[in-house]
Structure formats: structure tokens, C-alpha cells
Structure 1
Amino acid sequence: MTAEIDSEIRQLFATPLVQMRLAGCEGLLRDLRETIVQRSQGDAGVGHSNRGGWQSKDDLLSWGGEAATQIFRVIRAAIDRITMVYTADGLARQTLPWKVNAWANINRSGHANDVHCHPGSFWSGCFYVDDGGIGGREGMGGAIEFYDPRGPLPMAYNPLLKMAIKGCVSAGLGERVLPETGKLLIFPSWLTHSVQSYDGDGIRISVAFNFSV
């Protein structure tokens, strides 16, 4: 008798990465791009995880204008949909009083961001105002890379052995997402990530954010 593998494979302790398109926001993204570039010309910026490039303070919503206000209205609605709260009647969705801080990033050729996470918040994310010509394709760098929160443990026994299960092949490693203008990413704030060196000739502009209560 040959034992059969059970057809049900559960994915325990999943780490979500939400990917969306900011559909219909092309004009808003163009306006926000112009605002960010102008801001960078008269503002020294700050230095956190960035290696080169320009990063604004986390007060983008105070100077990003109507474009930022409308885009974050969409993001807030999306985050409300993926969040639940324990109540007396069990888990329920609510419109939460989120505290939001956001900042702009401009990376030119050779600029990158070191490995970091976003402590002090629940959801974090970013969206691409201008992908710098990457368009979701390989060859120009600039990808955001997320790291397995279990660290190297899943591959510590033998790095050549892999789990032949969907979503598990990269256990102990990282997953990359290539920028595309208008792409929105949302992920748990504790998930460590970095940005690879951008190798294009344009400017790669993104907005990063935190949601906390």
C-alpha cells in the first residue's frame, strides 16, 4: 500500500503582502510627483535607512496637497478592509481612528535603502509615484525586498533543501517586488525590508507610510 499525501496543506502563520493598483489616480500621481520634486529642491531631508537619495520628514500629508489627501483616502479605506478588531460580539470591521505618518523618497542612480522595519505602528506600506522607468521589469534594480521574519532558521539545516509547497520555496530568504508607477504595497510594520540600488537614469519616487492607533 502506498501512502498518499493529504491534499490539504495549511499555511500556518502567514505574513500578508497586499498589492494593489491605484487605478484612476494617474493625474494625482503626476501632481504629487511635481510637489515632491519641488519640495526636495528646498529641503535637506532626513537620513534614516536611505543610502544616498532624498527622504522627507514624515509629515507629507501636511504639504502633499490634494493629491496626497485623495490617494491616502483610498489607502485608508483599503486598510480598514484588511483590519479587524476584537469586540464584545467577536471580530468585527470598524472605521478606525488611524494615525498616519508618511514621507517621500527620491532615489537616483546608485541610491538604496538598508534593511529596516517600522516599529510603533500596525500597518506600513509604500506606493510608487514614479518607478524611474523600471516598469516592473528586471535589469534596473530598485526592487523592494522583504525578508522571512523567521530569519535564516528555515534553511539552517541544509540551504539546498527546499519545501516543495507553494509559497515556501523562499523560506529563510527574501521576496522581491519590482516597482511600477501606481503600485501600492501594504504589509505588517514588523516585516523587515530593504530597497536595492536603483541603476536607472531617471528618478525613482515613492511614498512610504505607517498606520497606527
Structure 2
Amino acid sequence: MQAFSTPVARIPCPFAAEVNPSLVDIVLARLENTENLFGYKSETSADLVEWGEEAADRTSSWALEMARRFTEKVMGKTLDKAFSDGRADTAEDRPPVSVGVGRSWASVYRRGDRHEAHFHPNTALSAIYYVTAPDTCELDLLDPRTGIGYYDSGIAFGGEGHGIRLRCKPGELVIFPGWLKHAVPEFEDDSLRISLSWNIGFSVGGPPKGRHK
């Protein structure tokens, strides 16, 4: 038995070719009016779902729908049933569950930029959509198990301490639990690497703040 597996999804967007060119223009325009120019990357304000841009709205809605499907596939049941199990006796008693966005933003990487290992507190799911890059968009997922570095038995039973490097193409969406540490290795190209990110949560009995499905 392999215990404590971590679900991760990679999903190609069926309309990527239609929205990605517009998303590039939208993000770069938004970046001109933000002060989130960190030393390691540039980032727009965290209100992507409120921009009122058709391409951004369409992509956000699709990402939320994929987050719902991802969760229901992992759970093996609908969100409403997953949240009501043990709390309601009949289907009629189950409150509706919405999938919504807390913070959402775009990140722009130029040569030499990187993002050290981090996770997103108070977030059920992290979702990243890759808009443009000269080749692949690399994302490192770190081993989430704590305490594995305190003793070296000489044998690695389950890849202790090893990360997974995803190499995604523009037009792909990645979804994983918000508690999973992830990092972006140093970007080594003269072109741009642009991605959209959403902190996703669930709301029982009504829609959470921000865009929802």
C-alpha cells in the first residue's frame, strides 16, 4: 500500500489558442499599473476575476469548473454529497456547495526570475494556467511529508525529499492542494513566461467571495 498520495491534475485548455494572445496583452497592460514588481518576478494585483476582460473571465470560469471536476473525481462523489456526508440525512437536506476564488493574479517571469518554495495558506486548491512561454513552463512540486529529513535510514522507501518537476506547455492548467509546496526554477530565456493563478475555496450554502461556479 502506498499511503498519503497527493492528487495533481494537468488539463489542456480546449480554447487556449483563442484566449492566450489576448491574455498576454491584458496581463502586460495590467502590469503597467501595479507596484507588485518583486525582486524575483512581476505580479499583477490579486483581483484577476474582477478585471472585466472577456478572455480572463472565460479562462477563470473554465478553471473553476475544472477545479470542481478535479475535486469530485478525487472524492468519488459530488461536492454537495462530499460536504453533506455525516451532516444530512437525505439529498434534499444537502446544501449546495460553490467553488470560488479568493485571490487571483498573473505572474510574469523574465530572464533570471524565479519563485522559491511556498504554499498558499487558507486555500483548498491552487490553480495555475500557463499563458505563454518560449518552450515549457517548469513547476517544482516538493515532497509534502514533514520530518523526513531528520533521519537517513540509508534506504528511500518512497522518494523521500525528492520533488517532481512538471514541464507544462502554454495552454495547460495545473491544479493541486493549496498546502502543497511548489516553486518556479530560474527562468533562463529572453522571452516572457506568463501564468495566471487562482486561490480556490469551497462555500457551503452560498457562493464564496469572488467568481464562483
Same topology, TM > 0.5: yes
Change (3 A) 1:24 1:152: same
Give yes or no for contact 2:41–2:115 (8 Å, CA) kept in 1: no
Cross-structure match for 1:58: 46
Cα distance in 2 for residues equivalent to 1:97 and 1:204 = 28
Corresponding position: 1:33 with 2:21:
no
Cα distance in 2 for residues equivalent to 1:12 and 1:106 = 36
Deviations 1:74-97 (A, max 9, x none): 111111123333312599996515
Map 1:155-194; keep pairs closer than 5 Å: 156-158=151-153, 161-163=155-157, 168=158, 170-194=159-183
Question: Structure 1: which 5+ residue stretches go unaligned?
Answer: 1-9, 136-141
Change (3 A) 1:16 1:120: same
Cα distance in 2 for residues equivalent to 1:52 and 1:97 = 31
Deviations 1:116-162 (A, max 9, x none): 1000111112010102x123xxxxxx621111111461793245x33
Give yes or no for contact 2:123–2:178 (8 Å, CA) kept in 1: yes
Give yes or no for contact 2:126–2:176 (8 Å, CA) kept in 1: yes
3-state SS of paired residue (1:109): coil
Q: What is the identity percentage for the equivalent residue pairs of Structure 1 and Structure 2? A: 25
Change (3 A) 1:172 1:185: same
Q: In the alignment, residue 30 of structure 2 is paired with which amino acid?
A: R
Instruction: Quote how far apart the aligned CAs of 1:73 are.
Output: 1.3
Cross-structure match for 1:5: none
Give yes or no for contact 2:110–2:192 (8 Å, CA) kept in 1: yes
Cross-structure match for 2:145: 150
Cross-structure match for 1:6: none
Give yes or no for contact 2:142–2:162 (8 Å, CA) kept in 1: yes
Question: Structure 2: which 5+ residue stretches go unaligned?
Answer: 72-78, 203-213
Q: TM-score, normalised by structure 2?
A: 0.78
Higher helix proportion, which one? 2
Deviations 1:86-117 (A, max 9, x none): 31259999651523421110000000001110
Instruction: Quote how far apart the aligned CAs of 1:197 are.
Output: 0.4
Cα distance in 1 for residues equivalent to 2:190 and 2:165 = 21
Cross-structure match for 1:205: 194
Instruction: Quote how far apart the aligned CAs of 1:11 are.
Output: 2.7
3-state SS of paired residue (1:197): coil
Corresponding position: 1:115 with 2:117:
yes
Cross-structure match for 1:99: 101
**Once superposed, what is the RMSD of the aligned Cα atoms?**
2.5
Corresponding position: 1:76 with 2:70:
no
Give yes or no for contact 1:36–1:64 (8 Å, CA) kept in 2: no
Corresponding residue pairs, total: 188
Q: In the alignment, residue 190 of structure 2 is paired with which amino acid?
A: D
